[in-house]
Amino acid sequence: MGGGVGGGPGGDPYDGQVKTSSRPRPSAVAPTAVLTAVLAAALALTSCTTPTGPDGNGEGTTPAPGSGTDGTGGTGGASEPEPSALELALDGPSADLEENAADAVAGMDTAEKAGQVLVGQLGAAGTDPASIEELNLGGIIVMGDAVPVAADGTHDVEALQTRLAETQEALSAGRDWAGIISVDQEGGLVARVKEPLVEWPTPMSYGAAAAGQNVDTAAHLATNGHALMGAQLAELGFTLDFAPSVDVTIGAGDPAIGARSFSSDPETVSVLGTAATAGLLHAGVLPAPKHFPGHGSVTDDSHVTAPVQDASVADLEARDWLPFRELLGGDQYTPMVMMGHVIVPELEPDVPSSVSAPAYEALRGLAAPDSAADGASGGAADDAAEDAADGAVAGTRSDAEPYDGVVVTDALNMGALVERYGANEAPVRALEAGADLLLMPSDLPGARDALVEAVEAGEVPAERLDEAAERVVTMLMWRDHLAQELAEATDEEKERAGVGNTNGTENGTENGTGNGTGAEPEQVSRELSAAAITVVDGVCGAPLVEDSLQITGGNEIDRARLAEAAEAAGLTVGAGPVVALVGSARGAGQGDVVVALDAPFGLPRSSVPDGGAKVALYGRTPGAFEALVAVLTGKAEAPGGLPVEVGDWPAGTGC
């Protein structure tokens, strides 16, 4: 059951860890105007060559308030070595860097500041290079339809890399920092860039590994997996990944998150969310834990409508908000958090959180113990913000201040907002409420103009726009600095900072796709599936097939991948026990063995004979099907456990 996962054939994979520290606040030098090396520095984390990208040499970053790096609890004593530049960078932006960012924003006019807080969808109006420069755009997000497709049907990563480099050149024009090149890349169904990048199973795989083995093993995998995934993204030119989802799922009643969630246990989600966030940072990629105030416990999908969260703030504090509290109030610096569109009546009735000032106050107050719950539970959001700086609960920092990092909205073109506000009103309301970064407005140029008009008319205080722009620029300067320090750090310095090796094995990888002779990302993806697979109902450890099997259900790719894995194990495909693949989260199947490929919520309605089995796989990658065949043939036991209650099976069910 027990120790760390990560070793195996082909070399040692990324061996990072979640770093905590308490060091003096770093002092930064001013960022240089040289904009051609930071992306290359970040991409040097991987083993292959990278395109030329922008460079910002801005040092420092904001340490998590009260982490010790703000001068309240630094390491001292002659027995401890001075922190390395990498350790200081990981602690967050310095006061000097924040001053540099403020100076940069002070040199912008209102329209330039408004553009700086906007992230547009690549391919939409306003995201061509000329428009990006004219708008002074903060960044872009790549959705699936913007990823070029090669002749063989796989994603053309070379063409994508070229386009992202051109986009970054426009974003960085006239700046001392690189812009946002972002993507939704969580693993499982939410992966915008696919093969030849390494495929990852669902995030719920980590929770299954935690439930069946231990959370430390799963956390190690989460850091490794997200670091390796981030390194491949960085190589293509991405600087931000809207991940991980730290929503706590309620199970089958959760229509939007499901297997995107690590678990239904808030403590497990907290540990794994922190580990995943660290992994992305170790690759020089900005993470964005999401979706506050929690999307896993509502029964509507905000892509369609605005879900209403009827739980009390006290209940939310104990469940949905715990992972965010751990991220914002812990020692690990978290540069950004995503605000969702969920309505919390106790905070503000009938107003989605993304445009609700009390919701932003509650989120920022989580960095300081005894804040949001005590203040907001009485219905007074102002009290919540006030209390944020006051008391502390046992085991947490007593000197914490409200979170001062970037809060980004969920996509502003989603049904939850579109049905309530016009295309240009939603960005204005979100900025006024407390958002710093406005993601995917329906009309990007219109949103910029609406922000300018609102500020000039006094509807939104100019200071609010200044604050948002300064936070965004601080974060981007810090990311440049962190990427540079990661690229320049020695192996010893990385080890001291808790950062593992994302360079692949000594043989390297080929084109960063994980298809080389030492493809660690593929290896860790396989290890994750092998650690997660769960026999929910059936005999553990006994062969479920002998020398052949029949495959039903799933889609064509699912069936082909299982057939390939079975044949590689010496099985004949086309006769014998029926293995039914269930390809949807709540779908059901019938066979000798029923396998839920993503979320396992349909297994209670599935049917198997006596001696059959119901299996949760949590993914449909090649490695997931290899793990399935090993369990079907009895060559491996299924070590995972259910990370959420499924039907009458409690969380933790498994072998």
d(CA 116, CA 113): 5
- State both tokens at 309: 């969260």
Residue ranges of domains in the chain, CATH in brackets: 111-459 (3.20.20.300), 533-632 (no CATH)
d(CA 369, CA 1): 35
3-state secondary structure of 420: coil
Helix (H) or strand (E) holding 535: strand 534-537
Start-to-end CA span in the chain (Å):
10
Distances (CA, A) of 75 to 87, 93, 97, 506: 12, 18, 22, 35
Q: Verify whether residue 155 is a known catalytic residue.
A: no
Return all residues near 508 (Cβ < 8 A) that are at least 6 apart. 47, 48, 516, 517, 518
Give the position of tokens 């006239």: 174
DSSP state of 149: B
Q: Residue 303: its pLDDT value, please?
A: 80
Task: Tell me: pLDDT of 508 over 50.
Answer: no
Beta bridge partners of 248: none
Sheet holding 240-241, edge to edge: 286-287, 240-241, 180-183, 139-142, 118-121, 438-439
Q: What is the pLDDT of residues 217-244, one digit of tens each?
A: 999 999 999 999 999 999 999 999 999 9
Question: Which residue of the set 301, 315, 370, 390 is catalytic?
Answer: 370
Let me know: does 119 contact 138? Beta carbons within 8 Å.
yes
d(CA 537, CA 144): 37
- pTM, to two decimals: 0.84
Q: Verify whether residue 370 is a known catalytic residue.
A: yes
What does pLDDT average to over the chain?
Answer: 85
Q: What is the pLDDT of residues 5-60, one digit of tens each?
A: 233 323 344 445 544 333 333 333 333 333 333 333 333 333 333 333 333 333 33
Question: Which residue of the set 303, 315, 390, 399 is catalytic?
Answer: 303
d(CA 24, CA 161): 38
3-state secondary structure of 457: coil
Backbone φ and ψ of 417, nearest 5°: -105, -40
Q: CA torsion 117→120→126→128, rounded to 10°?
A: 110
Q: In this prediction, what percent of the chain has a pLDDT beyond 90?
A: 76
Q: How many residues does the chain have?
A: 655
Q: What is the pLDDT of residues 145-198, one digit of tens each?
A: 999 999 999 999 999 999 999 999 999 999 999 999 999 999 999 999 999 999
